[in-house]
Structure 1
Amino acid sequence: MNKRYDYVIVGGGSAGSALANRLSADESTSVLVLEAGRADFIADPLIHMPAALMFPAGNPLYDWAYETEPEPHMGGRRVKHARGKVLGGSSSINGMIFQRGNAGDFDKWATFEGMDHWDYAHCLPYFKRMETTTAGADAWRGGAGPLTLERGPASSPLFQAFFEATDQAGYARTDDVNGYRQEGFAPFDRNVSKGSRISASRAYLRPIRDRKNLDITTLATVTKLRWQGTRVTGVDFLRAGKRKHSVDAGEVILCGGAFNTPQLLQLSGVGDPQTLRAAGITPHVDLPGVGENLQDHLEVYLQHESLQPVSIAPWLKKWKAPYIGAEWLFLNRGVGASNHFEGGGFIRTNDDVAYPNLMFHFLPIAVRYDGTAAGGKHGYQVHIGPMNSDVRGHVRIKNDDPFTKPGIVFNYLSTERDRQEWVEVVRAARHILDQPAFAPFDGGELSPGLGVETDQEIIDWVAQDAETALHPSCTAKMGTDEMSVVDPSTMRVHGTQGLRVVDASVFPTITNGNIYAPVMMVAEKAADLIAGNTPLAAEHPPVYRAGEGMPLHPEGDPRNTAWDARDHLPSALRAMQTAPTKGDDQ
């Protein structure tokens, strides 16, 4: 390992992998990636087998295993948060569901001062640059990027019933939730190819490991930034928790994620002076926004028993594991070759939101993330939760020890709007699962059960049973206001030189879906900003925006001939619009 690099990337996760690829493409530029976890060995089935996704969570070989402080509005519960501690980061242990978010998310980013070039039109070409979608490239989708995406088949009897039920509930279908129209239901894209997980490391790092100007060091925990005035000149790190090292850098780029990045900034004296002094840290750069603005998606599982033996529950039996593993290893197929989150959709739960505030993940089994099945029965479930909650939390170090996990509080359920949306979310999901299409299968609701009916009962159940969807973000947000941390034009940390941040922490607000895709887009765009490349030109294909008279499908599609304005409204509003009103003839 050299003693000085042009770029030292702290974190070999999703963003770090993409940055390492793009920045090292210039042979005159030296790049070092420091990853606190271990390598993502190609022979490790717990990383590369899609169906094994439940096993790395909680395992210290793969997972930082964070948990919150007692959440004040959830009865003091501590909520566990799995974060990848391995090359590829959380993309090596996540659910492989690839969702960009809505165009409106990025147009909202662009409303913040200094963020005008982060609108959808400017982000779209970077989404396209990173992907190869096997469903086919078009004006909205890429076809030549390093990240291969396959569309889930979503063809089992339970998936067919789910899609039919959404039709019966009054919701539209869409061809591609990452394309022209997000709102509606469809099979989902997954970062899975030929039966294997395609993590950020596998897509971006593995093909370039032999570049002479790129070094990748694992088991390297960065403990502090090194300073010369307000310029960062390098980092100190421990190898395997023991051997002390230092390395000089022209630039240090933090890619640790929404927890690790603010922790390292605070340990290095960057943050709110009062928080720093309380932890025994001498303030170096006064940035009160570091660790604040924390956002996430909380979710619950609505589970039903299936009367027919059509779920994948039997495959959870331990004696079947060798067969699943062998079929996956030698034939790249079978139960092990899918993440089983093969379809779902997005809806609006009320007419006050401009674009979907609820995402459905449908799963043809009743099971929790830890692999616990609902009594071993056949079943099915939807994962649901508000997508654009106004709840805000924080990440704050407790002391000056880099191995002490920071205090994390999300403040779930702390606002009236959030609690009201939870009631809407649960009722909307029940409306779909109660449709006639499920009648041949429905053996009754397992969770939460018929005892949870009133608004308060729903909120109490969420407080007791909800889990994180594992989308922490926004703790070092881009912007120019007094609580922003990162300059959106350069990715530099305000008030510093030689220090940048590129990961989910720079989001100003969370996107309405799984965050892996927007993290990778941010990394792709940031690579051009950092390298001084000419940014990709904005692209302006039409996108569906409810209530603006947009057709259900792209212009020119013959399916638009049957378009009706009522199809643009949530089902509850359509029912109100078509129901007889007082004074009508009945």
Structure 2
Amino acid sequence: MSGAFDYIVVGAGSAGCVTAGRLVGEHGARVLLLEQGPGDSHAVIRMPAGSFKMLFAPSPFVKHYASVPQSELAGRSVSVPQGNVVGGGSSVNVMAYTRGSRLDYQRWDEALGGGSGWDWEGLLPYFRRQEGHVRLDNVAHGGSGPLKVRDPNYLAPIAGVFLKTMQRLGLPFRDDFAGGDLHGIGYIPTTIDGAKRCSAADAFLRPVQGDARLTLVCKAQVTRLLLEGSRVIGVEYAEGGKLHRATASAEVVLAAGAFATPKLLMLSGIGPADHLREHGIAVAADLPGVGQNLQDHNVTFLTAETRGNYGYYRADKGRNLVRNLLHYGLFGGGPIASNGAETMGFVNLTDPSADPDIQLYCLGVMWPGLAAEQQKPGLTLMANLVKPLSRGAVRLRSADPAEDPLVDLGWLRDTSDEDRLLRALRYLREIAATDPLASIISAPRLPDPQVTDDAGLRAFIRSSTESNYHPVGTCRMGRDGDPMAVLDARLRLRGIEGLRVFDASMMPVIPSANTNATVMAAADKGVDLMMSG
């Protein structure tokens, strides 16, 4: 599908759906939207419980990036799944709608020199106009936006037990995690419309998919950007066994994610000059920050068997599966209407009065670290490091567009991150030893309850920590004069015309909660910035 368009958007994930939807629906633009994965029509995407089927089993809708061996993790390679489908992460994630804390965006504004419009107040109008919350409509929340948000449809028994336990430990119940303050325990707000997932594709792209001005091409791999001098004029992409070229008279927007966006920039000669020359790529713009500043949330966990099934043990097997499918199909309820993790909390274990740096989850299954035959009725407590200080990087493996980039996560490279995860792991043990949760636990499984010393628990963390699937920051915004800043405050590439980045790559600092809502709001703001010059 070669041709000429007003705008080309690379990536039909959360940011790309927002961008294309607004450009076509509000601005009447001719838009080519390119997605490397397939369409999103499969029933498993619509079902909230489908997240676990897509994330933890082979799926055409998820691409797994394997990191380079991590020296801080005893040489282990870590897999980070990313959405590879129309809707991107919003079509496969656990649908958590969180925005992080007010202070996260203060740090964004500071990275841009202040007065940038990227602080909490600058982004709040975009959060509000996108959100269609079923019960909140106030200064912090929108009640009529296209992105439907609601409290959990279904609560496993473990959810109530966990909430009561955390309150006994002094964590206050919080009714709203999206108002800028995170401290507390409560229910996870979810992007669910009725009983079905509400992805970015559902909310923002679907309303314009019948518009002749939108051209959506799936299973299209963009191989390079087309430049005339220092201006991007289009893209080259492979689809259907053929190589195509398309041009944009206005601008090209990259929305392919924190791994794919810097890879495409470097393949096109935009990035660290020495690294590009190593791969025989002509340098169009020497931007040393491309691929740097990689941040992600990573977790530690505790699993235990329980005295009976308080969660989702064998909910997807045999008669249970038939019963649950019938319940969901007839009434839109039951376990299939749940994202599998209905509760969460935020704490700071070093300074309880400070902004939280640990996110807590309770799952009604024993995961990860156990083979299917070892599974029994049980639970998993998870502690997610949401203010990591460690930084990684994305680099080219070769000049071949078909090869994945080299992903160096860099977890625990800053030793204070491991210190905080150690405190969090000990806190998980304290939670498990507190009633009413303690009364339903029959046998702790991981980490080995015999391991109590710091050295043993640190070794467990290094051998088992996993991603919470929120890579960001690899093409970050920054103030003028910052040599590592890839973008300016209007999300324009420095030294390159006609090109912007709207996905999670643009974040200077990772938000201290699930990132999907922030990606969508940032893309929404990006469209306004682009259309105003």
What TM-score range do you get, normalising by the shorter chain? over 0.9
Match of 2:83 in 1: 84
Match of 1:314 in 2: 314
Instruction: State how many pairs are aligned.
Output: 528
| TM-score (ref. length: structure 2) | 0.95
Match of 1:48 in 2: 46
Q: What is the distance in 1 between the residues matched to 2:494 and 2:373?
A: 49
Query: Where does 1:205-284 land on structure 2 (aligned, <5 Å)?
Result: 205-240=205-240, 242-249=241-248, 250-284=250-284
Query: Where does 1:150-165 land on structure 2 (aligned, <5 Å)?
Result: 150-152=150-152, 155-165=155-165
Amino acid at match of 1:52: G
Match of 1:484 in 2: 485
Q: What is the distance in 2 between the residues matched to 1:288 and 1:113?
A: 18
CA contact (8 A) 1:365 1:379 kept: yes
Q: What is the distance in 1 between the residues matched to 2:465 and 2:93?
A: 18
**Residue 155 of structure 1: how far off its partner (Å):** 4.6
**Residue 90 of structure 1: how far off its partner (Å):** 1.4
Q: What is the distance in 2 between the residues matched to 1:334 and 1:264?
A: 43
Match of 2:429 in 1: 430
Secondary structure class of the residue paired with 1:203 = helix
CA contact (8 A) 1:384 1:425 kept: yes
Match of 2:105 in 1: 106
Q: What is the distance in 1 between the residues matched to 2:314 and 2:359?
A: 27
Structure 1 residues 373-382 or 134-143, which shifts more?
373-382
**Residue 318 of structure 1: how far off its partner (Å):** 4.5
Match of 1:126 in 2: 126
1:503-536 per-position Cα deviation (integer Å, ceiling 9, x unaligned):
0000001111111111111111111111119xxx
Q: What is the distance in 2 between the residues matched to 1:49 and 1:60?
A: 15
Amino acid at match of 1:437: P
1:251-285 per-position Cα deviation (integer Å, ceiling 9, x unaligned):
11000000000000000000001111112211110
1:179-205 per-position Cα deviation (integer Å, ceiling 9, x unaligned):
264210111101112221111111111
1:9-55 per-position Cα deviation (integer Å, ceiling 9, x unaligned):
000001000011111124542111011111111xx122111112122
Match of 1:464 in 2: 463
CA contact (8 A) 2:8 2:33 kept: yes
**Residue 372 of structure 1: how far off its partner (Å):** 5.2
Amino acid at match of 1:368: P
Query: Where does 1:312-391 land on structure 2 (aligned, <5 Å)?
Result: 312-318=312-318, 320-351=320-351, 354-368=354-368, 375-391=374-390
1:77-119 per-position Cα deviation (integer Å, ceiling 9, x unaligned):
1101111111001111112122111111011111113453111
Larger radius of gyration: 1
Amino acid at match of 1:403: A
**Residue 325 of structure 1: how far off its partner (Å):** 3.2
Amino acid at match of 1:53: S
Match of 2:71 in 1: 72
**1:180–1:10: structure 2 CA closer, same or farther, 3 Å change rule?**
closer
CA contact (8 A) 2:154 2:334 kept: no
Match of 1:302 in 2: 302
C-alpha RMSD of matched pairs (Å): 1.9
Q: What is the distance in 2 between the residues matched to 1:319 and 1:414?
A: 47
Q: What is the distance in 1 between the residues matched to 2:109 and 2:7?
A: 28
CA contact (8 A) 1:366 1:373 kept: no
Question: Is 1:146–2:146 an aligned residue pair?
Answer: yes
Q: What is the distance in 1 between the residues matched to 2:507 and 2:255?
A: 13
CA contact (8 A) 1:14 1:89 kept: yes
Amino acid at match of 1:468: S
CA contact (8 A) 1:66 1:82 kept: yes
CA contact (8 A) 2:153 2:338 kept: no
Q: What is the distance in 2 between the residues matched to 1:239 and 1:476?
A: 26
**1:318–1:83: structure 2 CA closer, same or farther, 3 Å change rule?**
farther
CA contact (8 A) 1:154 1:160 kept: no
Q: What is the distance in 1 between the residues matched to 2:2 and 2:282?
A: 30
**Residue 121 of structure 1: how far off its partner (Å):** 1.0
Structure 1 residues 74-83 or 175-184, which shifts more?
175-184
1:531-576 per-position Cα deviation (integer Å, ceiling 9, x unaligned):
119xxxxxxxxxxxxxxxxxxxxxxxxxxxxxxxxxxxxxxxxxxx
Q: What is the distance in 1 between the residues matched to 2:524 and 2:410?
A: 31
Q: What is the distance in 2 between the residues matched to 1:60 and 1:162?
A: 31
Amino acid at match of 1:56: M
Match of 2:440 in 1: 441
Secondary structure class of the residue paired with 1:523 = helix
**Residue 352 of structure 1: how far off its partner (Å):** 8.4
**1:189–1:431: structure 2 CA closer, same or farther, 3 Å change rule?**
same
Amino acid at match of 1:311: G
**Residue 60 of structure 1: how far off its partner (Å):** 5.3
Secondary structure class of the residue paired with 1:315 = coil
Secondary structure class of the residue paired with 1:382 = strand
Q: What is the distance in 2 between the residues matched to 1:508 and 1:366?
A: 35
CA contact (8 A) 1:474 1:505 kept: yes
CA contact (8 A) 1:175 1:181 kept: no
CA contact (8 A) 1:280 1:399 kept: no
Q: What is the distance in 2 between the residues matched to 1:416 and 1:439?
A: 32
**Residue 152 of structure 1: how far off its partner (Å):** 1.6
Q: What is the distance in 1 between the residues matched to 2:65 and 2:290?
A: 19
**Residue 153 of structure 1: how far off its partner (Å):** 5.5
Instruction: Flag structure 2 segments of 5+ consecutive residues without an equivalent.
Output: none
CA contact (8 A) 1:154 1:187 kept: no
**Residue 353 of structure 1: how far off its partner (Å):** 7.5
Q: What is the distance in 1 between the residues matched to 2:505 and 2:278?
A: 23
Amino acid at match of 1:285: A
Structure 1 residues 311-320 or 515-524, which shifts more?
311-320
**Residue 375 of structure 1: how far off its partner (Å):** 2.5
Q: What is the distance in 2 between the residues matched to 1:200 and 1:26?
A: 17
Match of 1:182 in 2: 182
Match of 2:196 in 1: 196
CA contact (8 A) 1:96 1:190 kept: yes
- Identity in percent: 32
Match of 2:398 in 1: 399
Amino acid at match of 2:109: A
Secondary structure class of the residue paired with 2:159 = helix
CA contact (8 A) 1:174 1:181 kept: no
Secondary structure class of the residue paired with 1:497 = coil
**Residue 373 of structure 1: how far off its partner (Å):** 5.2
Q: What is the distance in 2 between the residues matched to 1:102 and 1:181?
A: 5
CA contact (8 A) 1:49 1:337 kept: yes
Amino acid at match of 1:482: P
CA contact (8 A) 2:9 2:20 kept: yes
Secondary structure class of the residue paired with 1:520 = helix
**1:14–1:215: structure 2 CA closer, same or farther, 3 Å change rule?**
same
Structure 1 residues 90-99 or 219-228, which shifts more?
90-99
Match of 1:3 in 2: 3
Amino acid at match of 2:252: V
Secondary structure class of the residue paired with 1:118 = coil
CA contact (8 A) 2:17 2:200 kept: yes
Structure 1 residues 506-515 or 133-142, which shifts more?
133-142
Amino acid at match of 2:214: L
Secondary structure class of the residue paired with 1:50 = coil
**1:502–1:372: structure 2 CA closer, same or farther, 3 Å change rule?**
farther
Amino acid at match of 1:338: S
